Homo-oligomer: A and B are copies of this chain.
Amino acid sequence: MNGAEQTIETLVRRGVDTCFTNPGTSEMHFVAALDRQRAMRSVLALFEGVATGAADGFGRMTRRPATTLLHLGPGMANGLANLHNARRARTPVVNLVGEHATGHRRYDPPLTTDIEGLARPMSGWVATVTDSSQVAAFVDAAVDAALGPPATVATLVVPADVSWSAVPDQAVDRLVPADRANGGGHAGSARPSTTTGSAPPGRTTIGTRGAVLGGDADPPRSEVREVAVALTCGAPAAVLIGGRATTGDPLRRAAQIAERCHAKLLCETFPARLERGAGVPAVERLAYLAELARLQLAGLEHLVVVDCAVPVSFFAYPDLPSRVVPDGCQVHLLAGPADDAEAALEALAGELGVGTGSPVPTMAPTRPLRPSGPITAESLAAAVGAVLPEGAVVSDESNTGGLHIPGGTAGAPPHDWLTLTGGAIGQGLPVATGAGVAIAGTGRQVLCLEADGSAMYTIQALWTQARESLDVTTVILDNHAYGILGFELSRVRAGEPGPAARDMLDLSRPDLDFVALAGAMGVPATRAESADELVVQLERALHEPGPALVHVPMERSL
Binding site for B on A (CB under 8 A): 21, 23-26, 28-29, 31-36, 38, 42, 44, 46-47, 49, 73-75, 77-78, 80-81, 84, 88, 100-101, 103-104, 106-114, 117-118, 120-122, 160-161, 164, 208, 210-211, 214-217, 270, 309-310, 312-316, 318, 322-323, 421-426, 453, 456-457, 459-460, 463, 466-467, 484-485, 488-489, 492-495, 497-501, 503-507, 509-517, 519-522
Contact = CB atoms under 8 A, between A and B. Distances in A.
B494 A28 contact: yes
Which of A24, A36, A466 has the most B CB atoms < 10 Å from its CB? A24
A115 to B, nearest CB: 8
Contacts of A316: 100-101, 103-104, 160-161
Nearest to A215: B108
B509 A520 contact: no
A500 B106 contact: no
A498 to B, nearest CB: 3
A522 B34 CA distance: 40
A495 to B, nearest CB: 6
29 contacts: A29-B494, A32-B489, A36-B498, A46-B456, A47-B426, A47-B456, A47-B457, A74-B425, A75-B81, A103-B322, A104-B316, A108-B214, A108-B216, A109-B315, A110-B314, A111-B314, A111-B315, A111-B423, A114-B120, A114-B208, A160-B492, A161-B318, A164-B318, A164-B493, A164-B494, A459-B459, A459-B460, A512-B521, A515-B520
A510 B517 contact: no
Nearest to A100: B316
Given A35-B501, A108-B312, 8 more contacts: A28-B489, A34-B500, A47-B456, A103-B322, A104-B312, A109-B312, A164-B318, A467-B509
A487 to B, nearest CB: 9
Nearest to A45: B456
B423 A485 contact: no
Contacts of A421: 110
A463 B510 contact: yes
A423 B110 contact: yes
A294 to B, nearest CB: 14
Contact of A44 (B81, B484, B498, B504): B504
Which of A29, A104, A495, A519 has the most B CB atoms < 10 Å from its CB? A104
Contacts of A485: 23-25, 28, 31
A497 B32 contact: yes
Contacts of A516: 516-517, 519-520
A138 to B, nearest CB: 21
Contacts of A512: 463, 520-521
Nearest to A116: B121
Given A323-B107, A510-B522, A520-B514, A492 B422 contact: no
A330 to B, nearest CB: 18
- The 4 lowest CB-CB distance pairs between A and B, nearest first, are A510-B522, A35-B498, A108-B215, A32-B494
Given A78-B81, A489-B28, A520 B522 contact: no
A31 B492 CA distance: 11
Which of A36, A117, A500, A521 has the most B CB atoms < 10 Å from its CB? A500
A211 B456 CA distance: 33
A501 B318 contact: no
B104 A322 contact: yes
Given A84-B113, A489-B28, A520-B512, A217 B38 contact: no
A499 to B, nearest CB: 7
Nearest to A101: B316
B84 A73 contact: yes
A90 B49 CA distance: 26
A423 B25 CA distance: 11
Contacts of A460: 456, 459
A28 B113 contact: no
A117 B113 contact: no
Contact of A42 (B106, B111, B160, B500): B500
A525 to B, nearest CB: 10
A88 B110 contact: yes
A113 to B, nearest CB: 5
A49 B48 CA distance: 12
